[in-house]
A and B are shown apart, each in its own frame.
Chain A
């Protein structure tokens, strides 16, 4: 079989794509690459379909052996990348030959790196997606994280332009974050004072932060409503449990929940939050749905423009 073999999976390496949609009525969550922006850049540099299966490597430590000639790109968290022991740049396409060893070191900045191969890994989708959700045992290879000895099928690729993304376009993961939030759900059940407290104070990422959600620590927020009938939770929803400490619900969130929610963080900012380590300081700022729509459209136009610029070089 052509493809790549796993020499070492590192801390947590998962096969992902953009996520599993249209299955929430079965209780299945969406999953998908936590930093969707970095993941899409890995595929875009290689000329892949935007939903091509790739590896999300959290914290680092992944080692692969190429079983055929192909091209790879690693994006996302900053970590040392080597091919046969030689340093290689992130956010860039590299040629690999059969037998080459690709090694991702431990992250310096950010949390999750994305490794994509030309054409994408050839993985059988479950419920329309290869995204691995460990809690559900769905996606990836038999619902599991990558293990030593796993074989990831991929077609050999002979010729591809060696594109790279200039540093000015690469995201920075070491700064204080401001998360833009579209107010919604039970926003009206929070008093003006509580909302001000929420927007004016800084929060820090706690160690209880994973693919399900990021628990934050800071000024406690009170809601007039304490419990509701369980209802659907969308991506980025900010839930306020009885202790008043917000939780931003991300890719592997539970589909239903009964805690009040202030609204939802813009997806572009959720991708940055997904790279935040414990102790990262952040703020929330409210935006209108018009501003959210505008930001999404601008981001799309901007990445498309950068991509065509890279290709024409």
Chain B
């Protein structure tokens, strides 16, 4: 198998960017995940933070302890160990979802647009296991991909001012659970009672980049039993 290709670029006075092939792809995401592990081990206390995304890693170091040249050499050294692998090394996480027109106000629109039943939308959303490609936008907001081509919907022309906490949503090839109430332009299909970000819990998030997520339908009673709330749905 060929060696993985990457590119190192300056980002700032104490930051370097590691770029892989710029596409959303599980094999690229696996490289990002491997690189983060290698970089943390290699740079250790010289690191300030490592920030993975779809096909890049931002490496921030302490400029009082090291510099670009040393970090660049260390990165080249440790990244020589990168391997192309398809294997999934993240956790598998199941997230319960109460899918309904009550909890997912855009279900009907997706069904109508794609000329399938609401039940089929719900079935297809659960049928795939999704990869956590990136976490950002807000604490605990995990970008999951890729969505069944038949469910892919563009973002709303006008974002909603308030999307409730726990909203399960689709935008283009991605799906996500809103960790807190916020504005948002994604298509809402259900509600998840599992907190996606709890600063008082350890870990604060049920998922991290590279994990595999499956959604499992639950009914309203189960949703409420698990601590879900419907009152936030004012759309």
Contacts and interface: CB of A to CB of B under 8 A. Distances in A.
Interface in B100-146: 134-141, 143
Interface string B44-55: 000111111111
Nearest to B66: A293
Interface in A286-307: 289, 292-293, 296, 300
A1 interface: no
12 contacts: A24-B49, A25-B50, A25-B208, A135-B138, A184-B17, A185-B11, A185-B17, A230-B53, A232-B58, A234-B15, A256-B53, A293-B13
Interface string A178-192: 000011110000000
B174 to A, nearest CB: 11
Nearest to A22: B49
B205 interface: yes
Interface residues of B, number: 44
A89 to B, nearest CB: 31
Interface of B: 9-15, 17, 22-24, 47-58, 60, 63-64, 67-68, 134-141, 143, 180, 197, 199, 204-205, 208-209
Contacts, number: 128
A229 B57 contact: no
A28 B136 CA distance: 8
Contacts of B53: 229-232, 256
* Residue in A23, A24, A137, A232 whose Cβ sees the most chain B Cβ within 10 Å: A232
Interface of A: 21-28, 126-127, 135-138, 182-185, 228-237, 254-256, 261, 263-264, 266-267, 289, 292-293, 296, 300
A136 B11 CA distance: 25
B49 to A, nearest CB: 5
Given A185-B17, A232-B57, A293-B67, A27 B139 contact: yes
Nearest to B135: A27
Contacts of A233: 58
A230 B22 contact: no
Nearest to A232: B58
Nearest to B48: A21
Nearest to A238: B12
8 nearest interchain CB pairs?
A232-B58, A264-B12, A256-B136, A184-B10, A232-B51, A234-B15, A292-B13, A24-B51
A141 to B, nearest CB: 14
B13 A254 contact: no
Given A24-B50, A229-B22, A230-B54, 12 more contacts: A21-B60, A22-B48, A24-B49, A26-B139, A127-B199, A184-B17, A229-B55, A232-B52, A237-B12, A256-B137, A264-B12, A296-B64
Nearest to B208: A25
Contacts of A263: 10-12
A229 B67 CA distance: 27
A181 B210 CA distance: 33
A255 B51 contact: yes
Given A127-B199, A232-B56, A138 B139 contact: yes
Contact of A293 (B68, B143, B180): B68
A137 B204 CA distance: 14
Given A184-B12, A254-B136, A293-B13, A25 B52 contact: yes
A296 B13 contact: yes
A225 B9 CA distance: 16
Contact of A27 (B47, B56, B138): B138
A184 B54 contact: no
Contact of A230 (B48, B67, B136): B136
Given A26-B135, A26-B205, A232-B17, A21 B49 contact: yes
Given A182-B13, A184-B10, A289 B68 contact: yes
Nearest to B22: A229
Contact of B11 (A21, A27, A264): A264
A21 B209 CA distance: 18
Given A26-B139, A231-B58, A232-B58, A237 B11 contact: yes
B139 A289 contact: no
A228 B23 CA distance: 10
Contacts of A230: 53-54, 134, 136, 143
A2 to B, nearest CB: 26
* Residue in B9, B13, B64 whose Cβ sees the most chain A Cβ within 10 Å: B13
Nearest to A289: B68
Contacts of B199: 126-127, 138
